[in-house]
Amino acid sequence: MDHFSHVNGALCAEQVPLPGLAERFGTPLFVYSRATLERHWRAFDDAFTGVPHLVCYAVKANSNLALLDVLARLGSGFDIVSGGELQRVLRAGGQAAKTVFSGVGKSRDELAAALAAGIRAVNVESAAELDRVVEVARGLGVRAPVSLRVNPDVDPETHPYISTGLRENKFGVPAAEVMELYLRAHATEELQVVGMDCHIGSQLTSVAPYVDALAKLVELATALRGEGIHLQHMDIGGGIGIRYRDEQPPSPAHWAAVVRDCLAGQPFEVQLEPGRAIAGNAGVLLTRVEYLKHNGEKRFAVVDAGMNDLLRPSLYGAWQEIVAVVPRDGPVALYDVVGPVCESSDFLGKDRELALQPDDLLAVRGAGAYGFVMSSNYNSRPRAAEVMVDGEHAQLVRSRELPDDLMRGERLLSD
């Protein structure tokens, strides 16, 4: 459930009509709803009531400071994958002690910054990374809290680009090597073993892969207890899907009930890392029709947002709903909604039934997660502005880039 709906003929974010925002801030424009973000975060938090737990929002899904601020105020933890994301969390008022650090390629500098800030756990993804954490912790004279990311080799049945828990994926430590690595970590003075971690993929629509993964994790955690290694937390990652079209993802409550079942009787705190399920349907991308054109039988609506603004359709063939902000009466036609970027893969949607005129506004739904964060300056296009709506108020939370922003740091030749 989100807070975007048509009222008196115009799509609104909460109580704010989108045409007014397009006038005020221009297009393309990402518009987020604070009430939706809070609702989604609370759905996860509430679902674990009675069980020690921490919701660590996956910052990569949408890292705008205002959005992190909203979640930090709710008491959220965070899952980060870079030093840049750590800086954002801290600037937005998030706590390092509630932040976990995932990712296969952490640099020495990133690890040092995270340990110096007092990170809750480094989710270690390989033996080589464990060695590096030891080296960095020794240099800083601190003890590093670590958790191993297990690759449970389960099939999340999602797009291959966003599956992470299969043996052939680059993520995590193979289950067969986990025990040995934990024993090594446990015996190392610079390390404190605090947890176990896992993330099997994204946009999952079934709970079955979680059940399979958790069975493996519980087996490993039990074996660790036999070795005198007691984990404080079990991090089950994120990946819960959302409805873009007709998917039927589990609700947070259903998903949590299954997780609670799998972990019943286990002594650890539950950690989760949802990203898309919190931010995805809390945002739309507003774009204006520049031109309508026909090439033979084919009709195109050329809009002012392109693959540089929203990459998911081009990269994954992802389907996201496109609606008229002010629907008009009149004959509908099938349009490919395409951007201005010079690539045939630059489309936001294909074969969409719409009644359109030039200058009409369209909204691409489900653009709150993996939207702005994946945008680029390809074709020297300034990145879009972002607005947060709260009730009847709208606040600019990121200015539209200017040509000077794009060229900052570049130089002409010196001679």
Among 45, 79, 110, 346, binds ligand LLP (CB under 6 A): 79
Write the binding mask 158 to 177 for ligand LLP: x where contact by CB under 6 A, - elsewhere: ----x-x-------------
27 Cβ neighbours under 8 A, 6+ residues apart: 286, 287, 288, 304, 305, 361, 384
Q: Which is nearer to ligand LLP, 17 or 250 (CB)?
A: 250
Tokens of 123: 């989710």
Q: Does 36 bind ligand LLP (CB under 6 A)?
A: no
Q: Does 40 bind ligand LLP (CB under 6 A)?
A: no
Tokens of 154: 């389960």
Cβ(279)–Cβ(61) under 8 Å? yes
How far apart, in whole angstroms, are the C-alpha atoms of residue 220 and residue 375? 39
Q: What is residue 7's three-state secondary structure?
A: strand
Q: Does 275 bind ligand LLP (CB under 6 A)?
A: yes
Q: From the CB of 293, what's the least distance to ligand LLP, in Å?
A: 29
Q: From the CB of 85, what's the least distance to ligand LLP, in Å?
A: 11
213 Cβ neighbours under 8 A, 6+ residues apart: 152, 154, 165, 198, 200, 236
342 tagged catalytic: yes
DSSP string, 241-301: ---SSS--PPPHHHHHHHHHHHTTT--SEEEE--SHHHHGGGEEEEEEEEEEEEETTEEEE
Among 29, 70, 277, 341, binds ligand LLP (CB under 6 A): 277
Stretch that binds ligand LLP, among 70-78, 132-140, 199-207, 246-254 (CB under 6 A): 199-207
Q: Which is nearer to ligand LLP, 278 or 325 (CB)?
A: 278
Q: Does 152 bind ligand LLP (CB under 6 A)?
A: no
Residues 327-386 that bind ligand LLP (CB under 6 A): 369-370
Q: Does 127 bind ligand LLP (CB under 6 A)?
A: no
Q: Which is nearer to ligand LLP, 99 or 164 (CB)?
A: 164
Q: From the CB of 388, what's the least distance to ligand LLP, in Å?
A: 19
How far apart, in whole angstroms, are the C-alpha atoms of residue 92 and residue 86? 10
Q: Does 250 bind ligand LLP (CB under 6 A)?
A: no
Residues 45-74 that bind ligand LLP (CB under 6 A): 58, 60-61
| Among 213, 281, 275, 273, residue whose Cα is nearest residue 247 | 281
- 123: amino acid identity, one letter: N
How far apart, in whole angstroms, are the C-alpha atoms of residue 289 and residue 359? 5
Strands 29-33 and 283-295: antiparallel
# binding residues, ligand LLP (CB under 6 A): 23
- 363: amino acid identity, one letter: A
Q: Does 88 bind ligand LLP (CB under 6 A)?
A: no
Q: Which phi and psi angles does 405 have, rounded to 5°?
A: -60, -35
- Give me the helices (H) in 141-246, please: 175-186, 208-226
Q: Which is nearer to ligand LLP, 22 or 96 (CB)?
A: 96
Stretch that binds ligand LLP, among 135-143, 237-245, 288-296, 393-401 (CB under 6 A): 237-245
Task: Please tell me the number of Cα atoms within 13 Å of 9 on its side-chain side.
Answer: 3
Q: Does 235 bind ligand LLP (CB under 6 A)?
A: no
Instruction: Please identify every residue annotated as catalytic.
Output: 342
Give me the residues that bind ligand LLP (CB under 6 A), please: 58, 60-61, 79, 102, 162, 164, 199, 202-203, 237-240, 273-277, 312, 316, 369-370
